[in-house]
Structure 1
């Protein structure tokens, strides 16, 4: 008998054994009473057995009820979730629409909580009617390559927790109002461009005290100031940060990046400087334990950052850095707590993967 795989049978068998044991105690007239703990367990099993018997007697009724509940939940989910975009990231799964007129009908889906338009081509702008989805929590627009603008009144979508704009390459800027989406926990694809009063900046986002994940793309024509990345220190809950560069002005390569103290993962993509950027932390202690650098002009890891930030890095990814030449021993000196390293497509390593387990340490 398997108690785990057949609990209904196990209850019946164990109850019989408990009853038999109790009767043996009584028949022999032993001085000690039937074990108190066993008596309590017996009573619990009696209750469970009664429940099982009721379920068995009403099995058909139970199955009918379960079927009805399941169907009802399915209908509710269909009303709350709308996946129009692709599930896969592969470009071979291409979706294209004639225009974005069909999106105007979404305003009638008042209970919608999740909307994905991921990877759909020829959506140039979102209709203003989309902001009528007051209950929408997740809006996924990843890889909508033709998308140029977001609704100017996006601030009215107060329920949004996830706004995903990654790979929306034609987006010029972020409209003012995003900083009012105080429920946001994930914001991917935030664009920095030439500044105007109608654009949202990094400083504005510091009001989002629930933000956990943030990815920033710096456009080619962006005007960057030191204070832009200094303001990151105000993101009190931020744990994951990605910064990707489209700008190639080398005068910006020495701008320091101040990291919030709770940051755990940092990804730098297409950084155009030859030396790793100046990474500063708010406090002496930094939670940063994973650093990823992908693409760009990096030639040396041994620069700046001789502080507590480097001391805590345990996981390091270096990818597609054709100008970088570095060895594992160098990295272990720079990052003394390293436990895992992945190097791919750098000048002296086609592919190298190392973990602390490999050395027996």
Structure 2
């Protein structure tokens, strides 16, 4: 059975004001009629048809407001923390594949709606219809998954749900001191929309069984501000030996992380992304032996990478790793990272124009499991950048208009504002050498490559089809690139998805691209005025017929 949300106004006994229908739909759980309506009965049939794992994953959507866009990655990490996604030991199915099956079933049955970006086939976000959310709230409270107030907002009451939510206005988290609550039963703490969480009155030693601690921003909107006045609460976290997923995403005024964080022996996912004030990571971070995901992206003040990162033998995803010019014997290097045999996704930020050098390309050969690589060059002197004027400053604020035909501002001004600027202590840079052995394949298993603010005018010797034979996705955003290099008759790109943005100097016509990329099925171009005769639509997209 599939839910039909096309006519949500057909609930018998419920009268809607057409001008306020969305607000009324979000409050349906209030109505006594709703529980007896055919629509809710249909929903219950669909819910009961789900397996136990899918039911539990589905109920997590209840904490989010209706129609809010929710990142798939957040939900998967939450489900991992809860222990919902545990593939059998003898199964070849991965956690991600199990999660994809959950999303697919919920989508097919009309429980959630995929959010497509342009016309891309891959879905990274979902949302929930107000009618469905009202029904989920009823079920979630019925099965004691969450507690809700009279307005349908999740609360911090975990007397029977074992899950507490932080809501706007409840900044003083006093849940651990309430006599009617047993802190040792609490397993999930999730910040829904509290901008100023206060943990000064929390006895963290009694929260030793918490598995998911999500204090940061889950919204895709960066303007959702969160900050903390006191980070002393970190010291008490050393008791939380069962914590699996910890997020501080987007929280301001956190300048350092204490060594007590390194005592979280069960921690698998650590999200520090967009902590813009973060300057220092704990040197003992290598003690987190179970860590599989470490996200430091958009931490603009970080300069030093502790050597301990190379000791995280279970690490599969590492984002925001910094490679700078200055020599620091205590910093973790790319060579050190080669010990991480399970690493599948790596994001590198560098201030070096000549990265990667020949010796670093050789190191990349040791990353046998690496499938996705992002390199962002920042803090470079790029002569093509025009001096800031009132017009260019306005364009850098993010309110840029699409222009796929006429030349726009010299790139990478359009993207450079969004790429971290890494401090560099050396005023000059060496050019990338061409002495790399021509027959070496440095990225044998790499499937996706994302290059941001590429500093060279011509493609380096490693950026060739013969060196990237498994590559299926190539993104180039910003920089000085004029050509994607020469392609030989028997050595063409295997890329299926190509995205080119903010490349004012890149020259290529459509016929030339088709010869170089014979397997291409999806092309996206933006602010690339010298790409001529491309049959893209008004938004810069082309899909293979």
Q: Give the TM-score range, shorter chain.
A: 0.7 to 0.9
Q: How many Å apart are 1:250 and its aligned residue?
A: 6.0
Match of 1:176 in 2: 307
Match of 1:319 among 501, 519, 525: 501
| CA distance in structure 1 between the aligned counterparts of 2:313 and 2:544, rounded to whole angstroms | 41
Q: Which has the higher helix share?
A: 1
Match of 2:348 among 216, 236, 251: 216
Structure 2 vs 1, CA of residues 238 and 195 (structure 1 numbering), >3 Å: closer, same or farther? same
Match of 1:127 in 2: 258
Match of 1:144 in 2: 275
**117-126 or 92-101, which moves further after superposition?**
92-101
3-state secondary structure, aligned to 1:177: helix
Q: How many Å apart are 1:328 and its aligned residue?
A: 2.2
Instruction: Please identify the structure whose Cα radius of gyration is greater.
Output: 1
Contact 1:140 1:164 in 2 (8 A): yes
Q: Structure 1, residues 125-163: CA drift from partner, whole Å, max 9, x if none?
A: 101111011111100000111111111111101010000
Equivalences for residues 298-337 of structure 1 within 5 A: 298-301=481-484, 303=485, 306=488, 310-337=492-519
Structure 1: runs of 5+ lacking an equivalent:
9-62
Structure 2 vs 1, CA of residues 274 and 207 (structure 1 numbering), >3 Å: closer, same or farther? same
Q: Structure 1, residues 17-39: CA drift from partner, whole Å, max 9, x if none?
A: xxxxxxxxxxxxxxxxxxxxxxx
| CA distance in structure 2 between the aligned counterparts of 1:274 and 1:98, rounded to whole angstroms | 46
- State TM-score, norm by structure 1: 0.73
Aligned residues: 295
| CA distance in structure 1 between the aligned counterparts of 2:503 and 2:473, rounded to whole angstroms | 18
Q: How many Å apart are 1:280 and its aligned residue?
A: 5.9
Match of 1:81 in 2: 212
| CA distance in structure 1 between the aligned counterparts of 2:520 and 2:353, rounded to whole angstroms | 37
Q: How many Å apart are 1:73 and its aligned residue?
A: 6.5
| CA distance in structure 2 between the aligned counterparts of 1:180 and 1:308, rounded to whole angstroms | 42
Match of 1:273 in 2: 456
Q: How many Å apart are 1:99 and its aligned residue?
A: 4.2
Q: How many Å apart are 1:96 and its aligned residue?
A: 2.0
3-state secondary structure, aligned to 2:278: coil
Structure 2: runs of 5+ lacking an equivalent:
1-44, 49-138, 147-159, 164-185, 190-209, 381-427, 532-537
Q: Structure 1, residues 185-218: CA drift from partner, whole Å, max 9, x if none?
A: 1000110022322111111111111111101110
Structure 2 vs 1, CA of residues 340 and 221 (structure 1 numbering), >3 Å: closer, same or farther? closer
Find out whether 1:263 has 2:446 as its counterpart.
Answer: yes
| CA distance in structure 2 between the aligned counterparts of 1:203 and 1:155, rounded to whole angstroms | 16
Contact 1:345 1:351 in 2 (8 A): no
Question: RMSD of the alignment, in Å?
Answer: 3.1
Structure 2 vs 1, CA of residues 283 and 319 (structure 1 numbering), >3 Å: closer, same or farther? closer
| CA distance in structure 1 between the aligned counterparts of 2:543 and 2:465, rounded to whole angstroms | 29
Structure 2 vs 1, CA of residues 341 and 121 (structure 1 numbering), >3 Å: closer, same or farther? same
- State TM-score, norm by structure 2: 0.49
3-state secondary structure, aligned to 2:283: coil
Match of 2:167 in 1: none
**238-247 or 251-260, which moves further after superposition?**
251-260
Contact 1:286 1:308 in 2 (8 A): no
Match of 1:251 among 403, 409, 430: 430
Match of 1:242 among 366, 374, 390: 374
Match of 1:16 in 2: none
Q: How many Å apart are 1:330 and its aligned residue?
A: 1.7
